Structure 1
Amino acid sequence: MHKYLEVLTELEGLLGRAPFRQGEKLPSIRELARRHGCSMATAIRALAELERRHLVYSVPGSGYYAVGAARPEPSDSAGLVDFASSSPDPAMFPYLDFRHCINKAIDTYKNDLFIYGTPSGLETLMPAFRKQLAEYQVFADASRLVVVSGVQQALSLLAAFPFPNGRTRVLVEQPGYHLFIEYLETHGIPAAGIRRTADGIDMDELEAIFRTGEIKFFYTMPRFHNPLGSSYDRRRKLDILELARRYDVYVVEDDYLADFETDSKEDPIYAYDRDERVIYLKSYSKIIFPGLRVGLAVLPSTMAAAFNRHKKLNDIDSSLLSQAALEIYFRSGMFERHRRKLRDLYARRSRRLQDALRAAAEESAGLFSYPGGGQRPAFHSHLVLHRPVSPSKLRERIRRDSVELDRIERHYLKDYPRQALLNLSVTRVKEEDIERGVERLASAIRYAAR
């Protein structure tokens, strides 16, 4: 990360978390330069950017001071604790940075952004995509990359168009991504389910399903599963890939939270693929904001042209303005700075939630458990209920206690047996509210189990 962006990130963090009230002094220019090993001119540039945003003001000969109170307001004990929402926190959207990138994109590309583009995406964006994908051990020629209007568009296209194996049935993890499940059922696309838990999937069951010769592709979220939060280990990824190769099944890997990985040794299934058996999907909805509507699909060379044809008929092309702004966002270093900030934020929230769930489970007298296996800090976690719980009683108590929960049933195919689970997300929950929310949830479960 550029030194200027390091200084800017530190100052933003101070203004967002430290007890800075209106008129309180920030670290001096000399101190910032010393901390980051940069010139005082670099530190001044970062402070000037914050001054331009009206977050700080300067006093000649004295230094820089906070404009207003940036300390988080005390949480209202009666306020809503939202464990249901899995969309990113709007308070963390990079509005100012991205507005600059949009304006710069319009100035740079002018009329090129306001005509039809190409279905595969903005040509000048591809090198930036390839560079970023390489960080995740995803290597592919530009001819295999296709920009999509979010991962949902990629999934709908993949479910609809013919694959080289000539099959039509889609296998999905249960529970799984609710919008894709809803798409399959709405459009009458043949689908089957395989149970997934915190420990993964049963490989014997997977092989038995693959062996039928009906499966077109297996849709999976190996990393930070939605809604469970668990991840596959390396052995499981290799076993899935080997079975896919043996039975001529494709693997559609949804790596939607790759940017939140904290372990550099954790690679996607795609990294082990030598036979172009894996279709890799990457989203930018969680790391930037959902309204960007830019995602990426990495296709086998035998399927890229057909996918492009289907995409062209679907929407002609994805927003060139969004793509051009994203290219500038990458090249400027703003993306990397934002990614680090968000990754640290959600990791802190997730660890705090996991600790609270673990403690609550230990005190539940066997009423529920927290299966921590395979759960690294990200967005989602879940509890397993061990005694019958009245759904109506649980909803009644949860509403009364101002806690919002997701409906786990929407993550299942209609006819698939459902597990007794409660899934939780931390994206919209303040850190200081997490323990209070878990206490209320545990109380609601005890009430509903009477």
Structure 2
Amino acid sequence: MLKYEEIVSYIEEHIEDQTFIPNMKLPSLREMAGHFSTSVGTVLSAYKYLEQRHKIYSIPKSGYYIVGITDSRGYKKNSMIDFYSGAPDSRYIPFHDFQHCIDKSLDLCREVIFTYADVQGLPLLLDTLEKQFKQYQIYTRASSIVVTSGSQQALDILCRMPFPNGKKTVLIEQPIYYGMIKSIYLCNTPAIGIRRGFNGVDFEELERLFYYGDIKFFYTIPRYHNPTGHSYTKAEKQELLRLAGKYNVYIVEDDIAADFDTNSRNDPLFYYDSSDKVIYIKSFSKVLMPGLRVCALILPDLIKNTFLEYKEWTDTYTSILSQGSLAVYLGSGMFDKYQDSIRRLYMNRMGVLQETVRENPAPGLEWNIPDSGFFACVKLKKDTPFDKIQPMLFKNNIRLMDTSKFFLKEFRNNHYYRVSVSKANEDEIRAGIPKLIRILGRYN
């Protein structure tokens, strides 16, 4: 038996005989490596494997812990209430349906699956996406769509590549999805921020930055913003596009949560764009499964060829099996049925969150809770570092993300805390939110 397998078996056996109990902290990587006379990397691989199988979970800067026992409905007993995760709830992912799509994809893509494919994307998927995008009020041609291996790859390429406007600096909302911030730092991309609170951005400040800031593109999440949950109005979207056209700034629209929107008239920025300034990004990781690693972009003609050149020498092409499976799933109509059910699921969870917050008022806590999506947000009056509240969160079986990493260094603060309902069901929300409010209120 390999050392990796020994460690996995050791932990699973101790969970089974209840030597390791729910929420118990596992030995550190170094301690476990010493116990098994192996490397820290081997232990980390074993821990990651068990984490993927929902046997253990991690808390940043703290360690790995045993997951609680599950009941017949799949709910965790005596376990952490997860207000941390940004991944979809695995209990509702249509694995069985998607398995059929994988099998069908193997038949349809037999000729190309073991050869080098088109860097732009599988033609079957591009044609399917052209039709699918009409549901989002996106009218485009398949020839303008490019497929990447997840949205993170798309953001990384956009940070690195030159733009037709000849500008160098990326402007991002503050706070914003931390994957974008990581790409900026790792690519050494010049970047500045603009504050986005529960009421959006200051458009006078935005115009000033567009005018003086040498802005290559402005990265924004217009609806169900991560982490604040805020959405722009139609008038705000139109003003943003007016300024982009006036100052020759491209807009990167990350529409990650489009499938959760309950308002069919809430059109994306791309819908209003008449000057080819919007780069539209649509990933299926939040609504379907992160491991699919398929993202679609709609690129202006002036940008597309440069983007494809960078994409080709990054990973040549995105998994044909993933592309084909998604094409079958979208084209069969199964996604539409799943989309309706998952939209209702998160609309209900946000409704319960709104109700629970109303029933537990707390001075000094300002909430933004949208009608759907994954993320709500609470703002504290006092700057409250995460490591100050983490012990109380842990004691009350609550997982929460340290939202300070959603900021550039010069904007970093501890006023905002993201509250995710992606993994927390209605009962967990009702049980966990009053505890969270009491904890935050104590330090506010």
Q: 1:306: Cα distance to partner? A: 1.4
User: Could you tell me which residue of structure 2 aligns to residue 40 of structure 1?
Assistant: none
Q: 1:150: Cα distance to partner? A: 0.9
Q: What is the correspondence of 1:399-418 to structure 2 with a 5 Å cutoff?
A: 399-418=394-413
Q: What is the CA–CA distance in structure 2 between the aligned matches of 1:116 and 1:329, rounded to whole Å?
A: 23
Q: 1:109: Cα distance to partner? A: 2.5
- 1:75–1:432: 8 Å Cα contact kept in structure 2? no
User: Could you tell me which residue of structure 2 aligns to residue 351 of structure 1?
Assistant: 351
Q: Percent identical across equivalent pairs? A: 37
User: Could you tell me which residue of structure 2 aligns to residue 250 of structure 1?
Assistant: 250
Q: Deviations over 1:284-304 (max 9, x none)?
A: 111110111111000001111
Residue identity in the other structure for 2:376: S
User: Could you tell me which residue of structure 2 aligns to residue 49 of structure 1?
Assistant: none
- 1:230–1:376: 8 Å Cα contact kept in structure 2? no
Q: Deviations over 1:39-77 (max 9, x none)?
A: xxxxxxxxxxxxxxxxxxxxxxxxxxxxxxx9736763x
- Structure 1 position 192 matched with structure 2 position 192: yes
Q: 1:389: Cα distance to partner? A: 4.1
User: Could you tell me which residue of structure 2 aligns to residue 105 of structure 1?
Assistant: 105
Q: 1:391: Cα distance to partner? A: 4.2
Q: 1:245: Cα distance to partner? A: 0.4
- Structure 1 position 335 matched with structure 2 position 332: no
Q: What is the CA–CA distance in structure 2 between the aligned matches of 1:410 and 1:390, rounded to whole Å?
A: 12
Q: 1:242: Cα distance to partner? A: 0.4
Q: What is the CA–CA distance in structure 2 between the aligned matches of 1:391 and 1:105, rounded to whole Å?
A: 45
Residue identity in the other structure for 2:403: I
User: Could you tell me which residue of structure 1 aligns to residue 269 of structure 2?
Assistant: 269
Q: What is the CA–CA distance in structure 1 between the aligned matches of 2:270 and 2:258, rounded to whole Å?
A: 12
What CA RMSD, in Å, does the superposition of the two structures yield over aligned residues? 1.8
Q: What is the CA–CA distance in structure 2 between the aligned matches of 1:163 and 1:202, rounded to whole Å?
A: 26
Change (3 A) 1:299 1:201: same
Q: 1:108: Cα distance to partner? A: 2.5
User: Could you tell me which residue of structure 1 aligns to residue 379 of structure 2?
Assistant: 384
Number of residue pairs matched by the alignment: 375
Q: What is the CA–CA distance in structure 2 between the aligned matches of 1:420 and 1:390, rounded to whole Å?
A: 8
User: Could you tell me which residue of structure 1 aligns to residue 424 of structure 2?
Assistant: 429
Q: What is the CA–CA distance in structure 2 between the aligned matches of 1:309 and 1:275, rounded to whole Å?
A: 24
- Structure 1 position 439 matched with structure 2 position 434: yes
Residue identity in the other structure for 1:310: Y
- 1:81–1:404: 8 Å Cα contact kept in structure 2? yes
SS at match of 2:146: strand
Q: What is the CA–CA distance in structure 1 between the aligned matches of 2:221 and 2:384, rounded to whole Å?
A: 29
- 2:222–2:255: 8 Å Cα contact kept in structure 1? yes
- 1:371–1:382: 8 Å Cα contact kept in structure 2? yes
SS at match of 1:441: helix
Structure number, greater radius of gyration: 1
Q: 1:82: Cα distance to partner? A: 0.7
Residue identity in the other structure for 1:385: L
- 2:403–2:418: 8 Å Cα contact kept in structure 1? yes
Change (3 A) 1:71 1:264: farther
- Partner residue of 2:367 out of 370, 377, 384: 370
Change (3 A) 1:205 1:377: same
TM-score by length of 1: 0.80
Q: What is the CA–CA distance in structure 2 between the aligned matches of 1:419 and 1:260, rounded to whole Å?
A: 28
Q: What is the correspondence of 1:288-327 to structure 2 with a 5 Å cutoff?
A: 288-327=288-327
Q: What is the CA–CA distance in structure 2 between the aligned matches of 1:148 and 1:74, rounded to whole Å?
A: 34
Q: What is the CA–CA distance in structure 2 between the aligned matches of 1:183 and 1:423, rounded to whole Å?
A: 21
Q: Which shifted more, 202-211 or 344-353?
A: 344-353
Q: Deviations over 1:218-245 (max 9, x none)?
A: 0000011001111000011001100000
Q: What is the CA–CA distance in structure 2 between the aligned matches of 1:265 and 1:281, rounded to whole Å?
A: 19
Change (3 A) 1:207 1:101: same
Q: What is the CA–CA distance in structure 2 between the aligned matches of 1:159 and 1:143, rounded to whole Å?
A: 23
Q: What is the CA–CA distance in structure 1 between the aligned matches of 2:293 and 2:387, rounded to whole Å?
A: 37
